[in-house]
Structure 1
Amino acid sequence: MTSFDPAESALVLGAFTIAGVVKGLAGFGLPTVTLGLLALIRPLPEAMALMIVPTLATNVWQALVGPALLPVLRRLWPFLAAAVLGTLAGAGILARSDAQFLSGLLGLLLVASALLALAGPQVPAPRTAQERWLSPAVGGAAGLLTGMTGSFLFPAAPYLAALKLPPQHFVQGFGIGALLATLALAAGMAGQGLLPRDLGLASLIGVAPAFLGMAVGTRLRRAMPDARFRTVIQAALGLVGLWLAFRTFG
């Protein structure tokens, strides 16, 4: 039976609250922020198991609420299907890999994601012919990394941004992808014996703080300049990523 001391319990609740704030502000980032913080105190597979239920709960709402569901599915189904298959494959790799190494890999992904967001390069939108093969390729890569690290953020978010989707399409499309990838991750981890019942039940405690954080993030998004808050969040993600990478590879 997995147990948490009071300090660890406070960090778990705080991690989901902070991650919810980020998701409420930007529409993504709950698993990435949660894993970046929880991996400081727990092995990555345990951190991934803890974040599954809150991620599913928040992404169900993000994926299904809104007018863009059918248009997004028609355009992005190759990306989404490949993400599911990639996640199942990545979960198989997770079961046979060194969790400490994957924690370091997550750190490098966090750093890469933060640098990409802070640098703000303009990525040209792919042409229709390019999108036909790019969507499954990027979806598969995003799924593979999700299965190995629990984070669907990279390269999914930069690619969907490069498609120049309308804002609601972007938010809902990312939500659908994250939802399907998390379901595939849960199935893959359960099949590999990496999803103990006690951790699955423990992850329920993250649902309320995640939704609370989303509500706060939504209010912050309306009350302060979006660019300034995103800069702070991305810088924090980069610092956490550097710590995880240094702990593993330093």
Structure 2
Amino acid sequence: MNALIEHYQILGWGLSALVLGTFLLAGTVKGVIGLGLPTVAMGLLGLAMLPAQAAALLIIPSTVTNVWQLAIGGQLRPLLKRLWPLLTMVALGTGVGSWLLGMSAGPTMSRALGAALLLYALSALCLPQLHVPQRHERWLGPLCGFLTGLISSATGVFAIPVVPYLQSLGLARNQLVQALGLAFTVGTLALAAGLFSNGALGSGELGASLLALIPALLGMWLGQLLRQRISAQVFKRLFLLGVAGLGLHLMISG
């Protein structure tokens, strides 16, 4: 508890309010469209703190909400059987990236975060729906997993290229949601291990991350209510436009 209080005292009241508000918004986005919590959290918090600090804060909210997501759907075993090469390489790529790259301080990593956000948004907005034949999964899945791990180790963003890859497999909606939760869970746990090995994830950061879980869960609940009242497609397009704007700002400002 003392470590938690000290961590938020160091952040200050203004930045602490930004953290809690960010996770409320990120949870709401995830509740509506089934993804976006790390993307929103890293994008907004990256405006005010180093990527490694932002990534440490999202570990527990991301893990808990993704486990919640992957536990619903009843397709966990067949998805594990089909996607284990991808998941293994997500973990391996994150480990290699944490060792070689890590989330160093300075404008380079902030610009890398911005580039990852912009690339994710533009690919989702502009690229047509792709379809990967099952015979190509044996090599393309591991490649996408390894690249996703490398990118997430430096930026905290798990979306590229694993999200468009999973969307190209022709999975049913519930299967896709569960597969995304599975990939994000593996990525988050691997990122946590990388941050810990680099000294960026201690008791203070874990306590702060645990507190951020409360607004994230509240946001997911609000998002699920909101999903019944608005068009998820329109909401997703607005979300992607916002992510693109955040990414461009981070790239320019560093």
Answer whether TM exceeds 0.5 for this pair: yes
Secondary structure of 1:152's partner? Answer: coil
Change beyond 3 A, Cα 1:47–1:72: same
Letter aligned with residue 126 of structure 1: V
The reply on whether 1:149 has 2:155 as its aligned counterpart is: yes
- Hey, what does 2:86 align to over in structure 1? 79
| Contact 2:102/2:153 (8 A) holds in 1 | no
| Contact 2:133/2:169 (8 A) holds in 1 | no
Q: Tell me the CA shift for residue 99 of structure 1.
A: 4.5
Aligned counterparts of 2:161 and 2:63: Cα–Cα separation in 1: 20
Secondary structure of 1:223's partner? Answer: coil
Change beyond 3 A, Cα 1:96–1:228: closer
Aligned counterparts of 1:95 and 1:143: Cα–Cα separation in 2: 11
Identity of aligned residues (%): 41
- Hey, what does 1:230 align to over in structure 2? 236
Letter aligned with residue 145 of structure 1: I
Aligned counterparts of 1:95 and 1:109: Cα–Cα separation in 2: 15
Secondary structure of 2:49's partner? Answer: coil
Q: Tell me the CA shift for residue 94 of structure 1.
A: 3.8
1:203-222 matches, cutoff 5 A: 203-222=209-228
Letter aligned with residue 40 of structure 1: L
Deviations, residues 176-229 of structure 1 (Å, cap 9, x unaligned): 111111111111111121213211211111101101111111122111112211
Letter aligned with residue 136 of structure 2: Q
- Hey, what does 1:38 align to over in structure 2? 45
Letter aligned with residue 102 of structure 1: M
Change beyond 3 A, Cα 1:186–1:99: farther
The reply on whether 1:47 has 2:58 as its aligned counterpart is: no
Residue number among 22, 30, 49 corresponding to 1:23 in the alignment: 30
Change beyond 3 A, Cα 1:161–1:136: same
- Hey, what does 1:113 align to over in structure 2? 120
- Hey, what does 1:102 align to over in structure 2? 109
- Hey, what does 2:248 align to over in structure 1? 242
Aligned counterparts of 2:103 and 2:51: Cα–Cα separation in 1: 13
Aligned counterparts of 2:161 and 2:106: Cα–Cα separation in 1: 21
Aligned counterparts of 1:119 and 1:240: Cα–Cα separation in 2: 17
Unaligned runs of 5+ in 2: 1-5
- Hey, what does 1:90 align to over in structure 2? 97
